[in-house]
Chain A
């Protein structure tokens, strides 16, 4: 009965002050909504272990991460098999390589279509406990030498390219120039290991390799039931050195720069290693926002209790039990947090829906979205929300309850005023302000730095003209354009290379003859993409250790290409036929390298060569200096401003990027590209057709998306910080109204009071900002492994944001203090 009275009373109090109620609910909804949204997103993307259809987590096993190129590295299947053999706790293991496959002669479709293909070991479907929807899965015999080549289709490909025709199972398709039998179709949504649209089997050599080779694969594995991952890690720590010890000199390149080799980690985490620290930062920021929201609500309720302190004192005088008093304070929190929690679900659900759309748009071109990147509010998120609501109720309810329990009710009842603010209450108020400053500082600084960095990267000068340029990736079928083995005679290698470059130059010539095409260029990766650096040695100036040499990004480029993307030769000459002569190795460096390492302008004619832990390459003669460009995203630490180029004629790759400078409509240029390819060789696939601007935007897409979330966090943080700091400071000043009255009665002038309060605010600012900036710096520093923070963003983050907070705090102190100071001292002394 008494509880029911308290509930009704709390509801009545909230209805009596609708603005307070709405503000509180809004703060909870936004703070909690953002938390649930981020939790759901990070859970789906990173934290929730992948189990597929089983209940055992799946782990990745592969070579150590390549920090120079920010990429994962595959391992020798021989070593992966050894791990499987030597570590008893592994239940099942499989291998894969992600790639593409060119499908030809699909009925009713012209040309060649490229799909994301996973080259897998035969047990992949059994491993993932997912049987095919049609047909059969792979068998061990399919991977044996001499077996008929087989392919498995994804549901989407089967629906979109084969019109959902069940007859396609058992039919023969030309894949990568080879006839393959379709053995089945996987269910909708299945894309394990990552982004597969079709599955092909790894060559038989992967099945049970008996010796080391240059073959590479990534591993996926499950542990035996009941085995903890830490147990496996200990076993891997034991086996890893033994494997490293056995690696002969010719395979030393398998090791990372620090000499380590295999790593095992959560399957999802492996796929986003370069972004992991950003996700963690995001989680920290959102968690801080939640605390900020809690403090704000707690403070609002504290202010409410202060307003009602006399009523509380009367209740205490009437003998209310402490537990019931606490419950009375909690009921308002229960209402606010529960209703706010309900709206938080809507906020989070809406945010997840938007993010799903964002992901779909982001990966529309390359279809590289990992299959688990589908966000939803699952039972974990709802449980987390419920738990957070309960925690929030306690945090926000206990602050006013503590105030209600610790008040000097005798004094309050005796003189009808609150009396001077108690020491504990004063300390609590100061702690609240400092907490607000600290949390706001961290959230705003990180959000601003990331935002500015991504904005600057998107608007960075990559040294190229992107207007009226489309780009695409071309892939030559391996059977028609074979790669000569590395051990083959140079003549054979040159022959194979020329065959590929012939196609590229034919395409260039054909397209440049078109009236709407200004020029065509090929590069292994155009500026704005192609991150990664390697060390190079300047003849006569070699460093003692290879990694003390300078480093640059190196790309292959076709002849007569610079102007197509707005680059130009500044010194020396461009590539021509002389550079494809046997024994000739020419290189063009960019202006930055020339300026830094050949300041006397004598770069042309000098020789450089690659240097790594595995030795040095052939000497290359510098024949020219080209204008500066930036390869990779300006946000990534692996991106480079030192670039060098070699002509593709002799060692043309099977996959290359093409840029077409066109006039008129973009669609016509794309059509011209596709038609020209078909006219020369219909087996060649063109994919990822997009504008150059979109190409540059691609590598930043995830970080940009995360930055947008940070922007939202920043906006929420500003809102929470501004309202919270004002409310906390205002509440603190209001509680000290009587003290101000006393000070004025004793002769303090208005300016003395203002100075006193502003000085106290300044001390709180110094403490809050010192810790806040320190924490921000630590978090930002942990992200710089994978990201290059824009220099300007540091100024904005570490100067503008603290300035904003200083302004907010001083304003939030000045206004309420001024209001109280302007009261007559007699009113201030009797303020209730």
Chain B
């Protein structure tokens, strides 16, 4: 799906390139990416290892900067922001779900979920607590609020990570192989949760190499050698449309 004319898109990437330099070797990780994601979309990005899908997700999440090209998020150009401005946008507009959960082991479940909210500075403690509780309830982990990550199973940790991503009510959730470290049962639970969030109107962009997971998204993008080679709606999208 071409996006150059889609000014209402939540995410809009125009001719994005990413080149890595290691010693004398130049690696073109992304090559002329054009992509837009509309509000409420459930997008999957797939492709073989090393194709650049995780790099693309990093750029989408403002975790890295592109070598050139233009990126706008929620109507704002975020291509050339300062580090702190990028941090603020990550905090307010983006929620992350990582393959390895990336919960902070020193913090309890509630503290982990509250973490992005504490970086805002404009929320009261009771607001934070309320949002944390709501988020944990959404992922059915409210009863484990005082536990530490090491006391949880992998699936539970990932649900807490999703709660953390939701707590800040972001514009988009970026999930990098969210089921990659989980067994099939837990993976199914997490995918059901993402489906549910999508149905509630949450915009999700998920990197996965699992065709079954990719098929659950409403739109599927395939990346190969740093280029988008396919961008299509899935059967789920049709089902939803129906």
Contacts and interface: CB of A to CB of B under 8 A. Distances in A.
Contact of B83 (A421, A750, A827): A750
B19 to A, nearest CB: 14
Contact of A750 (B55, B84, B96): B84
Most chain A Cβ neighbours within 10 Å, of B87, B89, B98:
B87
Given A750-B83, A829-B63, A426 B181 contact: no
B148 A746 contact: no
A171 interface: no
Given A415-B99, A423-B150, A829-B98, A751 B64 contact: no
Nearest to B87: A749
Interface in A413-443: 414-415, 417, 419-423, 426
A745 B89 CA distance: 10
A413 to B, nearest CB: 11
A668 interface: no
B164 A420 contact: no
Given A415-B181, A423-B106, A749 B100 contact: no
Contacts of A826: 55, 58, 61, 63-64
B184 to A, nearest CB: 15
A426 B106 contact: yes
B9 to A, nearest CB: 22
Contacts of B83: 749-750
Interface in B137-181: 148, 150, 164, 168, 180-181
Interface string B76-89: 00000001100111
Contacts of A746: 90-91, 96, 115-116, 119, 164
Given A745-B90, A825-B64, A421 B102 contact: no
A762 to B, nearest CB: 17
B84 A414 contact: no
B100 to A, nearest CB: 4
B96 A745 contact: yes
A748 B91 CA distance: 7
A752 B119 contact: yes
Interface in B96-122: 96, 98-100, 102-106, 115-116, 119-120
B113 to A, nearest CB: 10
Given A415-B181, A423-B148, A826-B63, A744 B87 contact: yes
A743 B116 CA distance: 8
B65 interface: yes
**Do most interface residues of chain A lie in helix, strand or loop, or is the interface mixed?**
helix
A824 B87 contact: no
B64 A824 contact: yes
Interface residues of B, number: 33
Given A414-B181, A826-B58, A747 B102 contact: no
A422 B103 CA distance: 11
Contacts of B120: 747
Contacts of A824: 58, 63-65
Contacts of B148: 423
A312 B220 CA distance: 39
A829 B89 CA distance: 18
A420 B102 contact: yes
B109 to A, nearest CB: 14
A423 B111 CA distance: 15
Contacts of B58: 824-826
29 contacts: A415-B99, A415-B100, A415-B180, A422-B150, A426-B105, A426-B106, A738-B102, A741-B63, A742-B98, A742-B104, A744-B87, A745-B61, A745-B90, A746-B91, A746-B96, A746-B164, A747-B87, A747-B92, A747-B120, A749-B83, A749-B119, A750-B83, A750-B84, A751-B84, A824-B64, A824-B65, A825-B64, A826-B61, A827-B64
Closest CB pairs A-B (n = 4): A747-B91, A826-B58, A826-B63, A746-B116
Given A739-B104, A747-B89, A829-B63, 9 more contacts: A426-B105, A745-B102, A746-B96, A747-B90, A747-B120, A752-B119, A824-B63, A826-B58, A827-B64
